[in-house]
Amino acid sequence: MSMKKWTDEELASTRDKLDAWNSRHSSSGWGPKLWLLTAFLGAFAISTGFAFIFFDGVTALSIILMVLGSVTCFSWYKSEKQRKDNITFLAEINKEIDHRRKRTEPKSKTKNNEDTKIDKKTENESSQ
C-alpha cells in the first residue's frame, strides 16, 4: 500500500487512530499477559486432547478439547500478527509524515544556516 498518494489529512487521521489504539493496548497491564495465558491454555488443551486420545481412544471430549484449543491458539496468533502489523504501519506512517515535513520545509532555512557558518568562520579568522 503506497502512502505517497494519501493526503496529509488521511495520514494524520490514520496516525491518530493508530496512536490511540497503541496507547490503549500498551497501557493495559494485564490484558496482554492474560491473552498470552489464554494461548498457553489453548496449547495445553490441544496436548490434553491428544493425551486423552492416546490413553482413552477417540472421544467427543478429546476432539472438543483439540478444536477449542486450536481455535484459541489461532485467535491469539492472528491478534499478535495484527498488533505487529499495526505497529509497523504506524512507524511507516510516521516516517512518511516526517518525510513530507522535511520536503515542505523552506530551503532558504538551510541556506541561512550555511551563511551563518560562513560568517562565523570569517569572524574567527578576522579575530585571530
- The boundaries of the domain holding residue 14 are 8-127
1 in a structural domain: no
Residue 115 pLDDT level (bands cut at 50, 70, 90) = low
104 in a structural domain: yes
Give the count of domains, the chain: 1
DSSP 42-108: HHHHHHHHHHHHHHH-S-HHHHHHHHHHHHHHHHHHHHHHHHHHHHHHHHHHHHHHHHHHHHHS-HH
78 in a structural domain: yes
Tens digit of pLDDT for each residue in 29-76? 666 778 888 899 999 999 999 999 999 889 998 999 999 999 999 998
55 in a structural domain: yes
Q: Which of 35-39, 75-79, 83-87, 106-110 has the lowest mean pLDDT?
A: 106-110
